[in-house]
Structure 1
Amino acid sequence: MKQLRLACIALAFAAGFAGQLHAAAPPPDGVYVVAAIQRLHATEPDFTFDHLRRIIEAVRPEVMVLEVRPDELEARKETQGRPEYPAVVWPYLAARPTTALPMEPGGEAFAAMTGEAGRLFGDFAKRKPDADAYMTRLGRALSTVLQDHWRHPADAHDAVTIDLVRAQGLAQAQLGGAAFETSQAEWDGYMVARTREAIAAHPSKRILVLASYRNLGAFREGLKDEPRLVDMEAWLRSALSAP
C-alpha cells in the first residue's frame, strides 16, 4: 500500500537515511531555510526532533529567524502546534547564545490577523460542514502521504512536499472561497517580509530561518532573489547521509 501511494505521487527519492552528520562546511554568510515538520517530528523516524537539532548544529547559525511571536521568543513559551520550539529551539538557544528574531506578528497585529482567520474558518464550518469535514480528512491524508514520502530530512524540502501542500491550499480556497487564500498569503507575506528585513540587517552573518513544510513554498518564492540563499535540499543530502 505504501509503495502504491508513493507511485501515485511520483516519488523521486527513496534513499535511506541513517542519520550520520558530515562536516560539510556551510557558507560563512549563507541563508538556510529549514522546514520543520512540527508535530510530525514525533512520529516520523526519518526526520525526528533529534535530526532537526543536528541540522541546526551543523549550520551553526549566527542569527536565527523563528516562526514565533515576540512574546513567545522572549519568554521561551510553549508554542501551540509547533513543538519543535520547546523540544529543540529553546534548549539550543539556552546552550548557545545566538541572535534570535521573531517573524510572526505580535500584539494587536497578531490578534487582528488570527481573529480574521478564525472567523473565516468558523464561518466555513457552519456554512459547509461537509466540506469542512472533507478538509479535515484531506489534512490527515496529506500527513500520511508525506510521511510515506519522507525518507530523509531533505525530502521535507523538495518539490513533492511543496506541491502537495500547495494542492491542499488550492482545495481549501476552492471550497471555502478566495478569502482563505488571501488570508494565508497575508500571513506568509508578513513572515517573509520580516525574514527579508533580518537578512538585510545581517549582511555578513550565517542565518537560519526556521519555517515549516507548510509555508516552505512561500519562503522559496519570497526569497528567490536572495543571492545568499542556500539550496537546502541539496545541502542536506550532502551534509546528512548514510554511513
Structure 2
Amino acid sequence: MNGELFPRPRAVPAPGAVHVPGWLSEARQRELVVACRDWARGPVPIRHTVLPGGGVMSVQTVCLGWHWQPYRYTRTAGDVNGARVAELPGWLVELGRAALADAYGDPKGEGPPAGASYDSVYTPDTALINFYEGGAAMGLHQDKDEKCGAPVVSLSIGDSCVFRFGNPETRGRPYTDVELASGDLFVFGGPSRFAYHGVPKVYPGTTGPGTGMAGGRLNITLRETGLSDATSSSRTAAGR
C-alpha cells in the first residue's frame, strides 16, 4: 500500500464496482513499469489502434495472452505485424486474483459490496495495457468483447486521471467521476460488469518519482475472455 498523509478511503461507486486507493506499493509499480516497457517492444509492439471507421485511438495499447482489435480477440495481431502476442505470465494472473480478493473481501465482516460476489476461481487470460500521454483520452465504452462475465481488474500507474464510471444502459448519466491515482485498483463486475466507462482527462505531471515513469499514465486491465483457440477461429471466420 502507498503511504499518504491523509489516506483515501475505499469506495463503492456502483454495485459490484470497487475503488481501492494505493493498492500497489511503489516497489510493485516500478516492477510493473519495467515489465510494461518490455512488453511494449513486442513480439507485437505497442500501437495506436485503428478503428473500423478509420479513426485512430489516442491511447497506445499492447496486449498479452490474447490480442484485442475492434471488436474481437485473436492470438495473433493481424492488424499490426501478424505475430503471436506475448503470453500472460502466471505472476500477473496471481496479482489479478489478489486484487479481486482484496476488492471483494470482507475487512469488516459485513460481506462484499452489493453484487460483488464471484464464486469461481478468477483466472484472467488477457491483459490490455494502455498508455496515455500528450492529451490521450478514452471515450465512454463497454468492455463486452469477452464471452465471460468475470470482473475486470484495473491497475493505474503514473499520472492521475478522471475515470468516468457510468451505467450499463447508456453513455449518458448517471455516472460517477472517480480520480484514479498511481497505485490505485479499480474492479468492476456483477451488475456493473458492462457499465460504460472512460477516461476524459489525465493530469500531466502528477506521477511520483518512485514509479520509475517520467510522465504519462499506464493502465493494466486483466480480463477473462471466455474464449478458446477454437472459438476464436470460428468467430474470425464468421466475422463479428
Q: Where on the TM-score scale, by shorter chain, does this alignment land: which range?
A: under 0.3
TM-score for the superposition, normalised by structure 2? 0.26
More RCO (CA 8 Å, sep 6+):
1
Using structure 1 for the length normalisation, give the TM-score: 0.26
Structure with higher Rg: it is 1
Structure with greater helix share of residues: 1
Greater strand content: 2
